[in-house]
Structure 1
Amino acid sequence: MSRASSIVQTVRDAYDGIEGFLPLHAPVFEGNESAYVQATIESTFVSSVGAYVDQFEAMLRDITGAKHVIATTNGTTALHMALLLAGVNRDDLVITQSLSFVATANSIAHAGALPAFVDIDADSFGLSPTALQAFLEGECDMTSNGCVHRASGRRVAACVPMHSFGLPARIEEIVGVCDKHGIPVIEDAAEALGSRVGSRHCGTFGQLGTLSFNGNKVVTTGGGGAIMTNDPEIAKRAKHLTTTAKVPHRWRFEHDAIGFNFRLPNLNAALGCAQLERLDDFLAYKRALAERYNDAFTKAGIPFVTERPGTTSNYWLCAILLNDRTERDECLEVTNEAGVMTRPVWEPLHTLPMFSSAPRDTLVETLQVAGRLINIPSGVVRRPVK
């Protein structure tokens, strides 16, 4: 049996021999989703004002430990707003990783800034604190205007590490490096709901953190995101700006800043509340699946990506590493042809035309991982998908 065929069989065995098409990560609606959405429709409060928005934010505070949570329309708007709240201005530089979904860099561009790509750690796929320190010390200077990138003259206004596939990055070390250079950290925890470093939830280490609730995430609101922070003033500003900067009044429409229509609708929040009620069950299922994968792929001699010691991954998307790009592409072809949905990692952001001129380091680990990794079915599947 070829390695590609072995992957197909291993995935199906992990799902108890399930037949038919196996998606990468489809949502599961087996709780109160229909009831809560119907209740929202009957209330007529389907837009950004409603009880479910408040409840959704409260549930996320309880789950993550963040003191303040502001729900937004999607993860991209959450990250865009977080950058503005952290003080990122037009023509600033924001350090992030090239191995990420395009929304990370898009959000930086939406804020008028330019990304600078720094390499990842091979065991977490998250921003490397060692590479970050080398970039800051070798490519930047501390000035009266803060940390400035020497070649471009741009101020380094923020750092955005990502917890890729729900695998926690070395976030404590990243924050430590950034603190020494006066750089705020905004965690892109879009994929990391339920992931922790020690007992602390990802997205709560930096000045701000963001979540995503897209249809393919552990928990979905259809589309949705959230900003997390422990700073009450930042939280107040976040809610104000995401609600079109409207000054509270019973009937007047007064606005005191250029605001954004970024608040999550109540209809979506209703779906999210029902999903969050099932979060522990989802996480337990996904952990058991990851353990089965790890055992089986280890026996087959195929590296399965696991959480680092001292961290807890939500295993949003499980991943394996193949020998090289040629084998990767062969396995993608065979698995998808067999009805087992697999995907390569995103194209590294520095290779995309709109970000090809952005500052970067050598990105050695980024390129190695990009050529070898594939994601395999990782969702909660109770029954065959027709």
Structure 2
Amino acid sequence: MRYGTNPHQAAELIAGGPTVLSGEPSLINYLDALNAFALVREADALTGRAAAASFKHVSPAGAALAGEIDATTAETWGVRVPADDSVLAAYLRARDADPKSSFGDVVALSRPVDGETADFLRTVICDAVIAPGFEPGVLELLRQKKSGRFLVFEADSTMQPPAREQRNVLGATIVQDRDAADLAAALPANPLLAGRTREDALLGMAAARYTQSNSVVAVKDGAAIGIGAGQQRRVDCVRLAGSKVGVWWLRRHPSVRELPVIAGMRRQDRLNWQIRFAGHEMTRGQRDTFCGLFGRGARELYDEPSWRQTWTDKLHGVTLVSDGYLPFRDNVEHAAEYGVATIIEPGGSARTGEVVDAAREHGITHVQTGLRLFRHWTRHAAVVVSARGLATTSG
């Protein structure tokens, strides 16, 4: 490999893995690519729709099924609207969920990369793509990105990972069954979980399975628009996911979409300003810069909170999936502020009754699956990596 987790760590791939068609991966590139492809492959199988994920640091920044591209997404990325069932539509929706986090991501697609998707990938900052195939001429286009350093992985969509996975940690060798629980079977039959709501729940469960715990995933209309991961307190995951949902939604407000266009400003810079503006997250110095760029009227609107709350109150139909049980009712109360209409969680805590009561009070459908989806293993079982000079493999 190019290096291990960090540049000062040597590493090598000694078994398995996807085919590298371009570039020289590091250990993290492999981990992101393998886990991302596992997610989109599973989401596609569960729903029958093309799926895409934007992966960073062994968790998804966004994940989505192919579907309609809204006006904000089309404006942001400067694209001609693709077909609703295309892999490009899936990736646009995935990247638009949390576009600051997706900067420099690994792109995973559940179906072969076509020319339209390859052309788009050449215009954004991303480090790698993994897919089960590439249409004629596409590979040559992708190999030109980043002067040949862009990573291209070809996944084997027929590969079945081993039933057991192993990890060595500081001299201890741990083996466990791979998490292969049937997500569709765990989701109970419920008339309130019909159609798109069920698809959202399944996508959220698949995303949670490949997100570092603790995690919650907020999904709307086939796109995971807010993912809170890796927090010790579950309520912080809910709040983090909720804040991302809020920014995603506020980016659709006319005042954010219609910020003046600044000549020479790069797309990502404009997007970053829109996100800071929408989320009310500027430092004092950034507020001064913002005023100089976009005018005093935009600065005054930034400081006015009422329009954000009025717009956020219009958000509805969000499904929240938790990889572990919600321990207290405050999780529900925070979720309710961001348009959550359905909560999917394992249930079974000492206070699940209180959580159920809170959901009822807020008009939220509460569904218990009995299935926990914790993820603390950071590598795919099909790949073993070895740091040279160490006697154990590293996960």
Structure (1 or 2) with the greater strand fraction: 2
Q: TM-score, normalised by structure 2?
A: 0.29
